[in-house]
Structure 1
């Protein structure tokens, strides 16, 4: 054999050797009957989720693929991730519990202002409704039919009052939710800051 051909064969053999070594890997997994199986073909798809090990040609474990998490574990992992994100946001927003208290005061003041405006508008709508009803009463006392536009305006004022009352109730509910939410944030922040070294 000529020397260049020999070098060529040696190079080819050297390139194929790692492939042969890779082909010598074994896969160890547990089947449905609980029997440990060693296979050169790989792990069947239905057993991959249970986890498996990859062994080299000497039988040493070179890689461990852990079992896939259960549905409960996935939910717990997602909840832990969400909690970590929430905790990080709390620590970015507030340097201490007193910051949470100040933020709550600002939120309550904002909601109180909205309630005040809604109550003022409600009183105004009631006054307008009273004036319109007085006009309607004058028409009735005079023996005339109450004009349609006047009845429509009274209806509009009643609807406006109902809407404003719903707004006030919504703002009051938001006040309660804000108190609960900020109290939870304050407690968690105190817990996080207390846990710091």
Structure 2
């Protein structure tokens, strides 16, 4: 007599059946009344976040699902991850605290150069404004109206000076921030390397 052929569906059912029969697990959790509950149906969604245990038929714990972290714990985990990433980046950039000092010197030299250029441009704009105002004064002394283009040029020089003063202020602020940032990097690198900052 010929055996019936096994279909893919019957093969799959045959593979799953022993697992389903042997998988008589219990779930142990604490409900909102503080009562410990054992259940074969699983853990209700509202109690999953509190954590639970999975037990086998003999009552032995085979898996522990810890409670979900609180909002404060999640913030701390994220802060720790960010700190670890920042520390790794710091160690990639610098080998010694002296490397941080050299990087700071380069940054300050770059900012000082920008400040120097801006101050030079500011002095030039002031000189141009003075020349233009002198021309405008000559027109007024001669009893002529000051040409519009001359007034516009004076306004442009004043606006340029204000822009340059703002740039100088920004560069000076960036200089302070660089000093503070590199000092913090140097101190942290010293901690990571176990040396004094």
Q: Compared with structure 1, are the counterparts of its residues 135 and 187 closer, same or farther at alpha carbon in structure 2 (3 Å cutoff)? A: same
2:194 counterpart SS class = helix
- 1:21 maps to 22
Pairwise mapping of residues 27-176 of structure 1 onto structure 2 (< 5 A)?
27-176=27-176
Structure 1 unaligned segments of length 5 or more: list them. Answer: 6-11
- Which residue matches 1:9? none
Task: Name the CA shift for 1:17/1:185 in 2 (closer, same or farther; >3 Å).
Answer: same
Superposition deviation, residue 15 in structure 1: 5.3
How many equivalent residue pairs? Answer: 187
User: Once the two structures are superposed, what CA deviation does each residue of 1:29-67 show, in whole Å capped at 9, x if it has no partner?
Assistant: 001000001111111111100000001111111100000
Unaligned runs of 5+ in 2: 5-12
Taking structure 1 as the reference length, the TM-score comes to 0.91
**Aligned partners of 2:15, 2:135: CA distance in 1, in Å?**
106
- Distance in 2 of aligned mates of 1:191 and 1:60: 45
Instruction: Point out the structure with the larger helix share.
Output: 1
